[in-house]
Amino acid sequence: MKKFIALFLAFTALAALFAACSDKPEVPADTGTSPAGPGSSAAPEGTETALPPLDVKKYGGEEFTVLWPEPHPDGHFMHNEIAVAEENGDVIDSAVYKRNAAVETAYDIKIVQQLMWCSNISGKVESDIKAGDSNYDAFCAPIAMVINYGASGVCADYKGMPYYSEDMPWWNHGVMDEFALRGHRFFGSGDIIFSDNFYPMTVMVNSDVYTTHKLPDDLFGTVKDRQWTFEKLIELSKDLPSSSDDVWDGNDNYGVLVYNSALRALFSGFGGHFSSLNDAGDPEWVMTADNSQDKVEAIINFFNNGHIAYDSSNDNAADDNRKFIGGQVLFFVAELITAERLVPLGMEDYWLLPMPLYNTDQPDYICVMNDAVVVSVPANADLERSSLILSALGRESVDTLTPAFFDIVLSNRYINDFGSLEMLGIILDTVSAPDLAVVFNWGSCKNLIGDMARKNTVDLEGTLKPIKNTVNALIKNFSKSMDGLD
């Protein structure tokens, strides 16, 4: 995931800073190289990346307009990753400003951002195309919104763009391929924006609770030794539940805090799938009792036995944060961006872990993204210009925006110990895109495991039987909507 190892090695020199909580890593000095050169301004000294060159063309001061989601009250889209008016001391804004200045100078172009409410972006691009207009060079929106419009022809195929290729390491080809409907790549993911880095599901640990209860394991060593399994999570959690009045509610202590997304993330982390793309690039439902019963049953038993798991489905995010900060739970299964909301509330003593393995036979950890913002190009845009400028921005971001992400993680102390920084590396190197069935909620699969858990039923075959025909019809209609793309 985004060349994490090289960046991790660069930041190991900052390890001593973790011993001095008040210290803040400085932004690396500007080295002033161009988009066509070997790297750019924000890379730590000695880490400039050798990247394939790009053509440089002059566009006579034209504007390059990108739609970006307005900041959301729940904390999403708060970082400006496309354009800023000036440097203001913010690490991310400074990186975006320097990146854009380098690209604008090299290409004689002006990068312009337009903010729009997230759920309106893809529809706005569609109506623009239908009106015969071409007002946008690119647009950014969550995968769930982009992919549906891509199937209907609104988004251009990256594979058909002159300045996109598999040789460009600033694109995350793996995530793009997981949604390669009939071989088409309708969005770009990679260094150009770091939102995908914020959305993998993780396990956060209240280190005060862990040390107070004198739990025995070196958790970071357990992860590195590939012993961080679902069984280990339950083992460490089972002695923590306590209730003062024998009525189990949100005032009591539990081992793990979970909700619908967390239960899905466990299933995905075990290698489970609701759907997948077949050889033709069409989606198909693949979840059956034969291939998923053991994983689903394990999750449901964990949810219902021993008061280990607290179901936060009826809480809001503030309630979840309060329980974790207040020491009511040891483990909090949540997307990484949650850390950004915890630190301002005073939560500093926590550790970060990847999602657990199902068992030690599983080849690797899997940290599924809850969602992520990606970059698409309208089908009626100038594909040469759009792909060249986006690739230039992505290329320049390798040594500006991506290091700034890690600087933010460090300097805002989302991670306050060296072990968690190592765990972040494992998380980002094992990120998996969300399941297509989850993106469209076919068969209400977003809540399927959660609903089974709350009913305390392990009858997966009986649960899947009544939705089979509906799911297959939805998938068939979706595939039919792509017929015009071939």
pLDDT in the model for residue 227: 96
User: Please, are residues 309 and 303 in contact by the beta-carbon 8 Å criterion?
Assistant: yes
Give residue 301's region: left, alpha or beta (phi > 0; psi -120 to 50): alpha
User: Please, are residues 402 and 191 in contact by the beta-carbon 8 Å criterion?
Assistant: yes
Domain total of the chain: 2
Could you give the strand order of the β-sheet that contains 201-206, starting from the edge strand earlier in sequence?
309-311, 254-258, 329-335, 201-206, 350-353
Residue 143 placed within a domain: yes
Three-class DSSP labels, 397-464: HCCCHHHHHHHHHHHCCCCCCHHHHHHHHHHHHCEECCCHHHHHCHHHCCCHHHHHHHHCCCCHHHHH
Q: Which structural domain range is residue 101 located in?
A: 25-189+373-414
pLDDT in the model for residue 345: 80
Residue 7 placed within a domain: no
pLDDT in the model for residue 26: 35
Same domain, 235 and 181: no
Q: Work out whether strand 201-206 and strand 283-285 pair parallel, antiparallel, or are unpaired.
A: unpaired
pLDDT in the model for residue 346: 78
Q: Which two tokens stand for residue 286?
A: 């693949």
Same domain, 171 and 42: yes
pLDDT in the model for residue 417: 77
CA gap 58, 206 in Å, rounded: 53
At residue 206, what are phi and psi to the nearest 5 degrees? Answer: -75, 105
Same domain, 362 and 387: no
Residue 179 placed within a domain: yes
Identity of the amino acid at 458: V
Same domain, 398 and 461: no
pLDDT in the model for residue 414: 67
Residue 17 placed within a domain: no
Same domain, 462 and 441: yes
User: Please, are residues 227 and 302 in contact by the beta-carbon 8 Å criterion?
Assistant: no
Residue 2 placed within a domain: no
61: CATH: 3.40.190.10
pLDDT in the model for residue 75: 60
Same domain, 48 and 61: yes
Residue 129 placed within a domain: yes
Residue 291 placed within a domain: yes
238-to-102, 215, 241 alpha-carbon distances in Å: 54, 11, 7
Same domain, 382 and 239: no
Q: What is the maximum span of the chain, computed from C-alpha positions, in angstroms?
A: 73
Same domain, 55 and 87: yes
Residue 221 placed within a domain: yes
- pLDDT per residue as tens, the chain (486 positions): 444 444 444 444 444 444 343 333 333 333 334 444 333 333 334 444 578 999 999 999 999 999 998 887 666 666 778 998 888 888 888 999 999 999 999 999 999 999 998 888 988 998 999 898 889 999 999 888 888 787 778 899 999 999 999 999 999 998 898 899 998 999 999 999 987 788 899 999 999 999 998 887 799 999 999 999 999 999 999 999 999 888 999 999 999 999 999 999 999 999 999 999 999 999 999 999 999 999 999 999 999 999 999 999 888 888 998 999 999 999 999 998 888 778 778 787 789 999 999 999 999 999 999 888 899 999 999 999 999 999 999 999 999 998 888 777 665 556 767 888 889 989 989 999 899 999 999 999 999 999 999 999 999 999 999 999 999 999 999 998 888 776
pLDDT in the model for residue 16: 40
Same domain, 30 and 173: yes
Give residue 410's region: left, alpha or beta (phi > 0; psi -120 to 50): alpha
Same domain, 185 and 207: no
Tell me the β-bridge partners of 141. 374
Same domain, 105 and 144: yes
Last residue of a domain, one of 414, 446, 477: 414
User: Among 150, 155, 194, which Cα is nearest to 172's?
Assistant: 194
Same domain, 104 and 143: yes
Q: At what angle do helices 4-11 and 401-411 cross, to 10 degrees?
A: 50
